[in-house]
Amino acid sequence: MDKHSKAQRSKNMQAVKNKGSQIEDTLAKALYARGLRYRRNTTKIFGKPDFAFIGPKLAVFCDSEFWHGKDFDASTFANTANKSFWNNKIRTNIERDKTVNATLEAQGWTVVRFWGKEIMADPEKCAERVEKALNARKSSQMQSAKKPK
Protein backbone atom coordinates (compact mmCIF):
# COMPACT_ATOMS: atom_id res chain seq x y z
CA MET A 1 0.00 0.00 0.00
CA ASP A 2 1.28 3.44 -0.91
CA LYS A 3 2.05 5.77 1.99
CA HIS A 4 1.00 8.80 -0.07
CA SER A 5 -2.39 9.78 -1.41
CA LYS A 6 -2.92 9.39 -5.13
CA ALA A 7 -2.71 13.19 -5.58
CA GLN A 8 0.54 13.43 -3.59
CA ARG A 9 2.11 10.53 -5.48
CA SER A 10 1.15 12.17 -8.77
CA LYS A 11 2.72 15.45 -7.65
CA ASN A 12 5.92 13.65 -6.60
CA MET A 13 6.21 11.85 -9.94
CA GLN A 14 5.62 15.05 -11.92
CA ALA A 15 8.61 16.61 -10.13
CA VAL A 16 10.99 13.99 -11.54
CA LYS A 17 13.15 15.61 -14.23
CA ASN A 18 14.48 13.98 -17.35
CA LYS A 19 16.99 16.77 -17.98
CA GLY A 20 18.68 19.40 -15.87
CA SER A 21 18.95 17.08 -12.88
CA GLN A 22 21.45 17.62 -10.08
CA ILE A 23 23.72 14.85 -11.32
CA GLU A 24 23.67 16.24 -14.85
CA ASP A 25 24.39 19.80 -13.68
CA THR A 26 27.25 18.60 -11.46
CA LEU A 27 28.96 16.80 -14.33
CA ALA A 28 28.30 19.76 -16.66
CA LYS A 29 30.20 22.10 -14.32
CA ALA A 30 33.15 19.72 -14.10
CA LEU A 31 33.29 19.30 -17.91
CA TYR A 32 32.98 23.03 -18.53
CA ALA A 33 35.75 23.78 -16.01
CA ARG A 34 38.04 21.53 -18.08
CA GLY A 35 37.26 23.57 -21.18
CA LEU A 36 35.14 20.84 -22.74
CA ARG A 37 32.22 22.07 -24.82
CA TYR A 38 29.21 19.89 -25.57
CA ARG A 39 25.58 19.79 -26.58
CA ARG A 40 23.11 18.94 -23.83
CA ASN A 41 20.09 16.69 -24.38
CA THR A 42 20.21 17.01 -28.13
CA THR A 43 17.31 15.35 -29.91
CA LYS A 44 19.37 15.01 -33.11
CA ILE A 45 21.21 12.01 -31.69
CA PHE A 46 19.50 8.70 -31.00
CA GLY A 47 18.81 8.23 -27.30
CA LYS A 48 19.14 11.95 -26.49
CA PRO A 49 22.46 11.77 -24.61
CA ASP A 50 22.85 14.10 -21.65
CA PHE A 51 26.09 15.35 -23.21
CA ALA A 52 27.08 14.95 -26.84
CA PHE A 53 30.42 15.78 -28.39
CA ILE A 54 29.34 15.84 -32.03
CA GLY A 55 32.67 15.94 -33.92
CA PRO A 56 34.42 13.14 -32.05
CA LYS A 57 31.13 11.23 -31.73
CA LEU A 58 31.10 10.76 -27.96
CA ALA A 59 27.79 10.39 -26.09
CA VAL A 60 27.65 10.70 -22.29
CA PHE A 61 24.70 9.58 -20.17
CA CYS A 62 24.05 10.34 -16.48
CA ASP A 63 21.86 7.54 -15.15
CA SER A 64 20.09 7.61 -11.81
CA GLU A 65 20.28 4.35 -9.95
CA PHE A 66 16.54 3.95 -9.47
CA TRP A 67 15.27 4.74 -12.97
CA HIS A 68 18.00 2.86 -14.80
CA GLY A 69 17.95 -0.21 -12.58
CA LYS A 70 21.35 -0.34 -10.91
CA ASP A 71 21.52 -3.65 -9.04
CA PHE A 72 17.93 -4.21 -10.12
CA ASP A 73 16.11 -6.98 -8.38
CA ALA A 74 12.40 -7.55 -8.95
CA SER A 75 11.95 -8.08 -5.22
CA THR A 76 12.76 -4.38 -4.73
CA PHE A 77 9.11 -3.62 -5.41
CA ALA A 78 7.66 -6.56 -3.48
CA ASN A 79 6.01 -4.33 -0.85
CA THR A 80 4.92 -1.48 -3.09
CA ALA A 81 1.67 -0.61 -4.73
CA ASN A 82 1.51 -1.48 -8.42
CA LYS A 83 4.64 -3.67 -8.28
CA SER A 84 4.08 -5.19 -11.73
CA PHE A 85 4.06 -1.69 -13.25
CA TRP A 86 7.36 -0.76 -11.56
CA ASN A 87 9.08 -4.04 -12.41
CA ASN A 88 8.08 -3.63 -16.04
CA LYS A 89 9.03 0.06 -16.08
CA ILE A 90 12.56 -0.48 -14.77
CA ARG A 91 13.15 -3.57 -16.97
CA THR A 92 12.03 -1.56 -20.01
CA ASN A 93 14.43 1.26 -19.10
CA ILE A 94 17.32 -1.22 -18.79
CA GLU A 95 16.52 -2.72 -22.20
CA ARG A 96 16.18 0.75 -23.76
CA ASP A 97 19.63 1.70 -22.44
CA LYS A 98 21.11 -1.43 -24.05
CA THR A 99 19.39 -0.60 -27.36
CA VAL A 100 20.65 3.00 -27.25
CA ASN A 101 24.22 1.82 -26.58
CA ALA A 102 24.13 -0.73 -29.40
CA THR A 103 22.58 1.69 -31.90
CA LEU A 104 25.01 4.51 -31.16
CA GLU A 105 28.01 2.17 -31.29
CA ALA A 106 26.79 0.81 -34.64
CA GLN A 107 26.69 4.42 -35.87
CA GLY A 108 30.32 4.92 -34.83
CA TRP A 109 29.75 6.62 -31.48
CA THR A 110 31.53 5.92 -28.21
CA VAL A 111 29.10 5.73 -25.30
CA VAL A 112 30.07 6.60 -21.72
CA ARG A 113 27.58 6.04 -18.89
CA PHE A 114 27.84 7.18 -15.29
CA TRP A 115 25.70 6.35 -12.28
CA GLY A 116 24.41 9.33 -10.34
CA LYS A 117 26.24 8.41 -7.13
CA GLU A 118 29.47 8.03 -9.10
CA ILE A 119 29.10 11.61 -10.38
CA MET A 120 28.14 13.04 -7.00
CA ALA A 121 31.03 11.27 -5.24
CA ASP A 122 33.73 12.50 -7.63
CA PRO A 123 32.65 14.70 -10.55
CA GLU A 124 36.29 15.46 -11.42
CA LYS A 125 37.07 11.78 -11.90
CA CYS A 126 34.05 11.44 -14.20
CA ALA A 127 35.06 14.54 -16.18
CA GLU A 128 38.58 13.12 -16.49
CA ARG A 129 37.15 9.88 -17.88
CA VAL A 130 35.15 11.87 -20.46
CA GLU A 131 38.23 13.88 -21.41
CA LYS A 132 40.28 10.68 -21.86
CA ALA A 133 37.54 9.19 -24.04
CA LEU A 134 37.45 12.39 -26.11
CA ASN A 135 41.22 12.37 -26.58
CA ALA A 136 41.11 8.71 -27.60
CA ARG A 137 38.35 9.42 -30.13
CA LYS A 138 40.20 12.40 -31.57
CA SER A 139 43.47 10.51 -31.93
CA SER A 140 41.76 7.53 -33.58
CA GLN A 141 40.00 9.88 -36.00
CA MET A 142 43.31 11.53 -36.83
CA GLN A 143 44.92 8.13 -37.42
CA SER A 144 42.14 7.03 -39.76
CA ALA A 145 42.34 10.36 -41.64
CA LYS A 146 46.09 9.82 -42.23
CA LYS A 147 45.64 6.36 -43.76
CA PRO A 148 45.89 6.37 -47.55
CA LYS A 149 42.74 5.39 -49.36
Domain ranges of the chain: 15-135
**Residue 115, φ and ψ in degrees, nearest 5:** -85, 150
DSSP, residue by residue, 81-98: TTHHHHHHHHHHHHHHHH
One of 3.30.565.10, 3.40.50.300, 3.40.960.10, 3.40.50.460 is the CATH number of 15-135, namely 3.40.960.10
141 burial level (CB within 10 Å; 0-12, 13-18, 19+):
middle
Give the pLDDT confidence of 80-94 residue by residue, as tens digits. Answer: 777 888 888 889 999
Cβ contacts of 69 within 8 Å, gap of 6 or more: 90, 91, 93, 94
Which whole-number Å values give the CA distances from 45 to 51, 100, 104, 105, 135, in the listed order?
10, 10, 8, 12, 21
Q: What pLDDT is recorded for position 142?
A: 76
* Angstrom distance (rounded) from CA 30 to CA 140: 25
The letter for the amino acid at 7 is A
pLDDT, residue 138, reads: 87
pLDDT of residue 79: 64
pLDDT at 45: 97
Residue 20: predicted pLDDT: 72
Phi/psi of residue 112, nearest 5 degrees: -120, 130
pLDDT, block means (10 residues), the chain with 149 residues: 68 63 95 97 95 96 88 69 83 95 97 97 98 92 71
The pLDDT, as a whole number, for residue 61 is 97
